[in-house]
Amino acid sequence: MDAITPEAALIERCSCAADDLQHGHPSRPSRDEAMAAVRTLLAWAGDNPEREGLLDTPQRVVDAYGEWFAGYEGDPAKELSRTFEDVQGYDDMVMLRGIDVQSHCEHHMAPFLGKAWVAYMPTGKVVGLSKLARLVEIYAKRLQTQETMTMQVADAIEDHLSAAGVAVLIDAEHQCMSTRGVRHHDVSTITTQFRGVFKTDKVLQQRFMDLVVRK
Ligand SMILES: Nc1nc2c(ncn2[C@@H]2O[C@H](COP(=O)(O)OP(=O)(O)OP(=O)(O)O)[C@@H](O)[C@H]2O)c(=O)[nH]1
Ligand SMILES: [Zn+2]
């Protein structure tokens, strides 16, 4: 029997979907422990966690984290599992333009906000359009880099829909760059991933890019 690596042991104890894990935590702290950590940060910031205005802040922050990081509970395979038989003959690009991206970078846990453009060339498996937006949402609501997120979205569509090609472009502004550190505003970071025919067929790739910039 193969020895279990420490990383695998961590993942085994993690309650998150295991097939696409980019993280592994030994066990989830309780809500009370999470609120105590927020009180520690409030005190570290220089404020008094016991003052009236801050008394409910730990629970609000924990609730907010629940929303911002809900993607750990999401399962990309499940979102892409329902395909429509009646559109099987469709064999051209399907593209969603301007999907909202609200994520947090893994380096600072600071928001990065922007839009995603996602296209695929189906080979029989066509999913509901909202599922592509849900897929982006699952990865956005986790900690990662923009590059990783772009790859994850492309990988999931390629793998679960057996797509002949996938194109993903994300355009986002990172608040860790605008509100702190180098403090440069209005810098947009663009990441792209082209898979299958979007990589090999430059005309198709250009069609995608033209649709990205189209008003
Ligand atoms: N490649 C990449 N870098 C990111 C992303 N989000 C944040 N970063 C960068 O991560 C880097 C972390 O750099 P460090 O030197 O370790 O941390 P730091 O001292 O806080 O860096 P500064 O932001 O330059 O102050 C910074 O350059 C950030 O701009 C991302 O999605 N992709
Ligand atoms: Zn950052």
Identify whether residues 31 and 63 lie together within a single domain. yes
Return the pLDDT at 6: 44
Single out the residue in 68, 93, 109 at which a domain terminates.
68
Identify whether residues 92 and 111 lie together within a single domain. yes
176 is in an annotated binding site: yes
Tokens coding 65: 């984290």
Identify whether residues 116 and 207 lie together within a single domain. yes
Identify whether residues 45 and 131 lie together within a single domain. no
Neighbours of 206 (CB within 10 A): 10
Q: Is position 104 annotated as part of the catalytic site?
A: no
Ligand 1 site: residues with CB under 6 angstroms? 105, 107, 145-147, 174, 176-177, 181-182
Query: Atom 8 in ligand 1: which residue has the minimum CA distance?
Result: 107
Residue 1 in any domain: the answer is no
Q: Is position 107 annotated as part of the catalytic site?
A: yes
Identify whether residues 24 and 117 lie together within a single domain. no
pLDDT tens track of the chain, all 215 residues? 444 444 444 444 444 544 444 555 668 899 999 999 999 999 999 999 999 999 999 999 999 999 999 999 999 999 999 998 777 788 899 999 999 999 999 999 999 999 999 999 999 889 999 999 999 999 999 999 999 999 999 999 999 999 999 999 999 999 999 999 999 999 999 999 999 999 999 999 999 999 999 97
Question: In this structure, what CATH number is given to the domain that contains residue 109?
Answer: 3.30.1130.10
* Closest ligand 1 atom to Cα of 181: 25
Return the pLDDT at 27: 83
Ion ligand 2 residue ranges (Cβ < 5 Å): 105, 107-108, 110, 176
Ligand number nearest to the C-alpha of 151:
1
Report the predicted TM-score, pTM, of the whole model to 2 decimal places: 0.88
Q: How many domains does the chain have?
A: 2
Identify whether residues 199 and 93 lie together within a single domain. yes
Identify whether residues 151 and 122 lie together within a single domain. yes
Query: Atom 5 in ligand 1: which residue has the minimum CA distance?
Result: 145
Identify whether residues 60 and 163 lie together within a single domain. no
Return the pLDDT at 56: 98
Q: Is position 14 annotated as part of the catalytic site?
A: no
108 is in an annotated binding site: yes
Query: Atom 4 in ligand 1: which residue has the minimum CA distance?
Result: 145
Residue 53 in any domain: the answer is yes
Identify whether residues 13 and 84 lie together within a single domain. no
158/194 Cα distance (integer angstroms): 10
23/48 Cα distance (integer angstroms): 33
Query: Atom 18 in ligand 1: which residue has the minimum CA distance?
Result: 181
Helices (H), the chain: 6-12, 31-45, 57-68, 76-79, 129-140, 146-161, 175-178, 197-200, 202-213
- As a dihedral over the C-alpha atoms of residue 67, residue 73, residue 76, residue 79, rounded to 10 degrees, the angle is -80
Identify whether residues 106 and 173 lie together within a single domain. yes
User: 23, 59, 107, 184: which is the annotated catalytic residue?
Assistant: 107
Return the pLDDT at 46: 98
Interface predicted TM-score of the whole assembly (ipTM), two decimals: 0.90
Return the pLDDT at 16: 53
16 is in an annotated binding site: no
Question: In this structure, what CATH number is given to the domain that contains residue 24?
Answer: 1.10.286.10
User: 14, 25, 106, 175: which is the annotated catalytic residue?
Assistant: 106
Which domain, by its residues, includes 201? Answer: 79-213
Return the pLDDT at 89: 81
Return the pLDDT at 124: 85
